[in-house]
Amino acid sequence: MEKNKDEVFLDFVIKAIVSKPEEVKIKRTIDEMGVLFTLDVAQEDVSRVIGREGQIAKAIRLLLRVVGFNQKVRANLKINAPQIDRNKNRNFRAE
């Protein structure tokens, strides 16, 4: 199956950012709202893709919309972030 230009673009950008490009999975679905890209990356790469205060994710979404506009589709990006147990390494005393 041939990939679309928007999917090739997103794949290129994400794999350039992450430390484990082999674990990048992009799913492209078309619905009534346009094209939705669902992105799965390794747990340690989620912060690289989202960035500080979401700035990298916003920039990727903006570029993806521009690429989609050239193909006359509305493109959106959803980043699946695995749940992180923040209390895993903390020691709590039950008194």
Mean pLDDT in each 10-residue stretch from start to end of the chain (95 residues)? 84 95 94 92 92 94 92 91 62 55
Domain residue ranges of the chain, discontinuous segments joined by +: 5-80
| Burial label, 41 (beta-carbon count in 10 A; 0-12, 13-18, 19+) | buried
How far is it, in rounded angstroms, from Cα 11 to Cα 24?
8
5-80 CATH pick, 3.40.50.1100, 3.40.47.10, 3.30.1460.30, 3.30.300.20: 3.30.300.20
| Token duo for residue 67 | 């690429």
Report pLDDT for 20. 93
Report pLDDT for 60. 95
